[in-house]
Amino acid sequence: MSYTKYISLIVLTLLIGKNHTNAQEDINYSEFLNTITTAVPFLMIGPDSRAGAMGDVGAATKPDANSAYWNTAKTAFLEQEQALTISYIPWLRNLVNDIYMAQVGYTWKLNERMSVSHGLRYFSLGEITFRGEDANLIQIVNPNELAIDLCGIGYKLNEYFSGGFNTRYIYSNLTSGASVNGSDSKAGNAIAVDINGFYKKPINLGQQAADYMFGFNIQNIGNKVSYSESAERDFIPMNLKIGTGINIELDEFNEFGIYMDVNKLLVPTPPAYKKEGNGFAEDANGDYIIESGKDPNVSTVQGIIQSFYDAPGGMNEEFNEINWSLGAEYWYDDQFALRLGYFYENPNKGNRNHMTLGLGLKYQIFNLDFSYLVPFTQRNPLENTLRITMSFDFADIKSASEIKGN
């Protein structure tokens, strides 16, 4: 918790320190560092290796066992009757060796129109030592966070379009009740929902059969989180994801897909505060005076609406907040896959800029996928990130058993 707060303070100080030299001067705030921070950022870590190998595209990719996270509406188009997926992601291994995320998900297709999914993501932040002002040991804790997908529904409204939603419980225990800055801390809790849609239609590209796909997902619409009774409540990472893609059957054995996603956080952008002396100017209530932008201390609904126009740098900065990713996937005989992807985030909004690659293997009942991240910036904490996912197709188990019995 303190790590996020310190980063936010540093970013804000840099922004204010550079932004204002004369009250009458026009300042282009969009050129300055102004990252958006939220509580429980682990919710934005893609949990599976297939999407991870394609730059984290997923809103409109070919449906698979991990579709419930990226776009629950896609699960209505699953070919499997039941699917189980398990993932493991060592995180920030260039910095520490004890942070990781694990995920398990299950999808059951009830009939040709409707599917139900459940899932669990567990994020461990390793071991953290809390010390007082005189460096005396206060407590050693093992912070952890989890998200339980209680019930995800995908439903086909017609032959080509499906709608979906997912309900989620979020738990964040960063301090194990330790006293922070004189205040007793507590675990944060939230309830959130996803609302999504998916369109898939067969088309022809010359002599080649193909599927065109489009999808959207509004993720993590939920209450704000607080880690103590006195602290301000923080937004969770509400996010808009829009994607499109096309999957081409080249021939009987070869299949190729290319996909694109764009993402925008639906939370307020930190404003630029008016500087006064060595600090910030305050109003009669003791609140900082906003020089450009909007007050971020608003409700969830207002925060979503405001996120489209509240950046201190105007529309230029709003466009800078849009991340985009590209992904490509090649399958041979539905048994071996090669994947490549690219993810871009503006340098003033986080500077995630990397290539991803991976492969997939399928043998009867098992899918095994790997992905690897290659950053384009030096000393990137995400460098060498490896994701491993295994999925299990229950329908294929039944088919394999029948074949063996015959």
Q: How confident is the model at residue 249 (pLDDT cuts 50, 70, 90)?
A: very high
Q: When comparing pLDDT for 148 and 227, which is higher?
A: 148
Average pLDDT over residues 240-250: 97
Look over the chain and give the mean of its residue pLDDT values, rounded to a whole number.
87
Residues 117/138, Cβ–Cβ less than 8 Å: no
Average pLDDT over residues 48-63: 96
How is residue 234 written in tokens?
């923080």
Average pLDDT over residues 343-368: 93
Q: Say yes or no to pLDDT of 382 above 60.
A: yes
Give the architecture-level CATH label for domain 2-405. Answer: Beta Barrel (2.40)
Q: DSSP letter string over 150-175?
A: EEEEEEESSSSEEEEEEEEEEEEESS
Q: Cα(339)–Cα(191) distance, rounded to whole angstroms? A: 34
User: pLDDT above 90 covers what percent of the chain?
Assistant: 66
Q: Say yes or no to pLDDT of 88 above 80.
A: yes
Query: Could you report the per-residue pLDDT of 285-295, keeping only the tens digit for each?
Result: 888 889 999 99
3-class SS of residue 349: helix
In this prediction, residue 373 carries a pLDDT of 94
Q: Cα(370)–Cα(378) distance, rounded to whole angstroms? A: 23
296-322 in b/e form (b: 16+ CB < 10 A) is bebebeebbebbeebbbbeeebbebbb
Least confident of 17-26, 100-109, 345-354: 17-26
Q: How confident is the model at residue 182 (pLDDT cuts 50, 70, 90)?
A: low
Q: Say yes or no to pLDDT of 7 above 50.
A: no
The sign one gets for the Cα dihedral 127, 128, 130, 136 is positive
Q: How far apart are the first and last CA of the chain?
A: 59
In this prediction, residue 37 carries a pLDDT of 92
- State the DSSP H helix or E strand holding residue 5, giving kind and residue range, or none if neither: helix 2-19
How is residue 259 written in tokens?
């996909």
In this prediction, residue 96 carries a pLDDT of 84
In this prediction, residue 394 carries a pLDDT of 76
3-class SS of residue 347: helix
Average pLDDT over residues 47-70: 95
User: pLDDT above 70 covers what percent of the chain?
Assistant: 87
Q: Cα(343)–Cα(382) distance, rounded to whole angstroms? A: 12
How is residue 214 written in tokens?
């489009």
Q: When comparing pLDDT for 129 and 311, which is higher?
A: 311
How is residue 139 written in tokens?
């407590």
Q: How confident is the model at residue 2 (pLDDT cuts 50, 70, 90)?
A: very low
Q: How confident is the model at residue 180 (pLDDT cuts 50, 70, 90)?
A: low
Residues 305/15, Cβ–Cβ less than 8 Å: no
Q: Say yes or no to pLDDT of 236 above 90.
A: yes
Burial classification of residue 148, based on how many CB atoms lie within 10 Å of its CB (0-12 exposed, 13-18 middle, 19 or more buried): middle
Strands (E), 58-110: 82-90, 100-109
Average pLDDT over residues 11-25: 36
Least confident of 10-14, 58-62, 66-70, 233-237: 10-14
Which residue(s) pair with 244 in the sheet? 214, 260
Residues 307/269, Cβ–Cβ less than 8 Å: yes
Q: Say yes or no to pLDDT of 387 above 90.
A: yes
In this prediction, residue 27 carries a pLDDT of 65
Residue 380, number of CB atoms within 10 A of its CB: 17
Q: Cα(298)–Cα(45) distance, rounded to whole angstroms? A: 26
In this prediction, residue 400 carries a pLDDT of 45
